[in-house]
Structure formats: structure tokens, C-alpha cells
């Protein structure tokens, strides 16, 4: 495999194979993400974006094909190795944020860092910087329930970036943000990508947002093509 931050090669995935409700979702999907680039993945609902993001993030395994992260072939890796690489190298932002309800915004961004063994003071400083970069520094002590949907989304974004992953995978990350906030979050992402060499793959229905990314890909009949 190449040194690409993320590489998918000939990925195939079928749900309910051999049954009458069989759905062949991915049919040889191939892509490579370079460091320091934001790539849009545009596709109609049901085309398989979430399936592709889950396979890319080592949350699911393909029926066939290869997955490489940072040049490491993960195809035959066991669960422990997949979990280790996922925690260290991959950040996720989901449409529904899954923040931990009993912890503050700041703690939600600190926790993944503490799990990786970063000292508390360092984790807190990084969490505060990240929250400030997307405009929610003054909400750091609030629990998720006391934040608006857009604020929660921004905290989730900070959490995904907390351990400085190689790869950021996002599913409609600005879907529930108003245009000005969406712009701000997108700007923060672009800056982080430039500064850190992160590779981001962002699934979105928003064509205007996709056009502002470095590269545009489309999922078409289970394959990835240039948009
Ligand atoms: N666990 C599953 N079992 C059976 N079919 C599934 C499963 N997960 C997804 N599918 C089907 O696979 C197809 C692709 O689903 P996926 O969630 O990847 O699409 P998507 O492009 O992310 O859609 P959306 O934009 O609506 O979120 C859909 O037809 C879906 O119904």
C-alpha cells in the first residue's frame, strides 16, 4: 500500500448476501487521501457513504478489498490492532454527535486524550484551544444537554481532533449548523488541515460546501469517481 493517509482499494460490501433483501452497496470502491487535503464525498441518500466511512474508519470490515491507514495495511488486522489504530489515527464526526451526556464540553474533548495517556494539564489546554477555534470556549463547562445542537456539533468536532488523528472522517458535519457557524467550523477545519497535515474525508449533500474543499469525489453505483 502507498503512504497515503488513507487508502481504500477495491472495497466491496453487500448486506444480507444471498438473501432476497440483498443490497450490494460497494462494488470496488477505491480512493486515496493525501495528507493536508480535505476531500468531499458527495452521494445521494442510500448510496453507501456511511458504509464507506465505517469501513475506512475500521468500524466495519469489507467483504473484499484493502484498507490502509498511514501506509499500514489493515486488511488482515485483528480487533485489538484495529481498535488501537482507530483510536490513535482516526477521528470521527457523526451527524448525531454522541457526546457523553454526564461530562462537560471540555471533559468530552479531554477524555480521548487522557485515554491515550496525555497528562491532564496538557489535555485541558489542547481541549480549550480546540473549543476556542470553533467559537465555543465560553461553553466549556456546559454539559451537552445545555448546549444548542450546533454547539454540540462543534464540540464533537473538537473531540474528533483531540488526539491529532491522521485521518478525519465526517458524515454531514455541518448539517445542523446555520450558514455562518458552518462557515466558521469549516474554516477551522481547513486551518487545522493545513497546519497539521491531517487528511479529511467529508460526506455531504451540500454541493456549495463540497465545492470549497480541495477535491470532490462521488459515490456512483458502489464506486468512487471524481465529481
Ligand atoms: N446493516 C444493514 N443491513 C442491511 N442494509 C443496510 C445496512 N446498513 C445499510 N444498509 C443499506 O445499504 C445502503 C447504503 O446505506 P448507507 O447508510 O451506507 O447510505 P448513505 O449513503 O450513508 O445514506 P444517507 O445519506 O441516507 O445516510 C442503503 O440502501 C441501506 O438501506
- Order of all β-strands in the sheet with 199-203: 90-93, 167-171, 199-203, 38-42, 215-220, 223-226
Tell me how far apart the alpha carbons of residues 130 and 148 are, in angstroms, rounded to a whole number: 18
Question: 84 lies in a domain?
Answer: yes
Is 56 close to ligand 1, i.e. is its CB under 6 Å away? no
- Residue 122 CA to ligand 1 center (angstroms) comes to 39
Give the helix/strand (H/E) hosting 40: strand 38-42
Question: 215 lies in a domain?
Answer: yes
Q: Which domain holds residue 55?
A: 6-100+149-226
* Domain CATH number, residue 30: 3.40.50.300
> Does 169 have pLDDT greater than 80?
yes
Question: 111 lies in a domain?
Answer: no
Q: Which cell is 224 given?
A: 468512487
Question: 96 lies in a domain?
Answer: yes
* Beta pairing class for 64-69 and 223-226: unpaired
Question: 137 lies in a domain?
Answer: no
Q: Which cell is 101 given?
A: 451526556
123-135 pLDDT, tens digit per residue, is: 999 999 999 988 8
Q: Distance between alpha carbon 209 and the CA centroid of its chain, in Å?
A: 16
The SS3 assignment for 109 reads: helix
- Other CB atoms within a 10 A radius of the CB of residue 16 amount to 10
**pLDDT tier for residue 190 given thresholds of 50, 70 and 90:** confident
What's the average model confidence in pLDDT over 60-84? Answer: 94
Q: Which atom of ligand 1 is nearest to the CA of 54?
A: 18
Is 15 close to ligand 1, i.e. is its CB under 6 Å away? yes
Q: Pick from 54, 68, 57: which is nearest to 26 by CA?
A: 54
pLDDT at 96: 66
Q: Whose CA is nearest to atom 16 of ligand 1?
A: 48
Question: 106 lies in a domain?
Answer: no
Q: How many domains does the chain have?
A: 1
Q: Whose CA is nearest to atom 25 of ligand 1?
A: 45
What's the average model confidence in pLDDT over 63-91? Answer: 93
CA distances from 98 to 94, 95, 110, 209, 226 (A): 8, 9, 15, 24, 31
- Order of all β-strands in the sheet with 23-33: 23-33, 6-15, 64-69, 72-73
Q: pTM for the complete prediction?
A: 0.90
What ipTM is given for this predicted complex? 0.95
Mean pLDDT of the chain: 91
Question: 170 lies in a domain?
Answer: yes
pLDDT at 3: 74
**pLDDT tier for residue 1 given thresholds of 50, 70 and 90:** low
Is 119 close to ligand 1, i.e. is its CB under 6 Å away? no
Give, for ligand 1, the residue of 41, 51, 56, 175 to mutate: max count of ligand atoms closer than 8 Å to Cβ: 51
- Residue 52 CA to ligand 1 center (angstroms) comes to 10
Give, for ligand 1, the residue of 50, 93, 202, 206 to mutate: max count of ligand atoms closer than 8 Å to Cβ: 50
Contacts of 80 (CB under 8 A, 6+ apart): none
The percentage of residues in the chain with a pLDDT greater than 90, rounded to a whole number, is 68
- Residue 48 CA to ligand 1 center (angstroms) comes to 6
Which of 40-49, 122-131, 142-151, 182-191 shows the lowest mean pLDDT across its residues? 182-191
Amino acid at each position: 500500500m502507498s503512504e497515503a493517509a488513507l487508502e481504500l482499494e477495491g472495497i466491496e460490501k453487500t448486506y444480507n448476501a444471498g438473501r432476497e433483501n440483498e443490497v450490494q452497496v460497494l462494488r470496488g470502491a477505491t480512493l486515496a487521501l493525501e495528507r493536508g487535503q480535505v476531500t468531499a464525498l458527495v452521494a445521494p441518500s442510500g448510496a453507501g457513504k456511511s458504509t464507506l466511512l465505517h469501513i475506512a474508519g475500521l468500524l466495519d470490515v469489507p467483504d473484499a478489498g484493502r484498507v490502509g491507514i498511514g501506509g499500514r495495511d489493515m486488511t488482515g488486522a485483528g480487533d485489538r490492532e484495529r481498535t488501537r489504530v482507530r483510536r490513535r489515527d482516526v477521528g470521527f464526526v457523526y451527524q448525531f454527535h454522541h457526546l457523553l451526556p454526564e461530562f462537560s464540553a471540555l471533559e468530552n474533548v479531554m477524555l480521548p486524550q487522557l485515554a491515550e495517556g496525555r497528562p491532564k494539564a496538557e489535555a485541558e489546554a489542547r481541549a480549550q484551544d480546540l473549543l476556542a477555534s470553533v467559537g465555543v470556549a465560553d461553553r466549556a463547562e456546559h454539559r451537552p444537554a445545555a448546549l444548542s445542537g450546533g454547539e454540540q456539533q462543534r464540540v464533537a468536532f473538537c473531540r474528533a481532533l483531540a488526539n491529532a488523528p491522521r485521518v478525519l472522517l465526517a458524515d454531514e458535519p455541518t448539517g445542523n449548523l446555520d450558514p455562518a457557524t458552518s462557515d466558521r467550523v469549516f474554516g477551522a477545519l481547513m486551518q487545522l488541515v493545513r497546519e497539521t497535515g491531517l487528511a479529511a474525508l467529508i460526506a455531504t449533500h451540500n454541493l456549495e460546501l463540497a465545492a470549497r474543499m480541495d477535491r470532490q469525489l462521488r459515490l456512483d453505483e458502489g464506486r468512487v469517481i471524481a465529481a
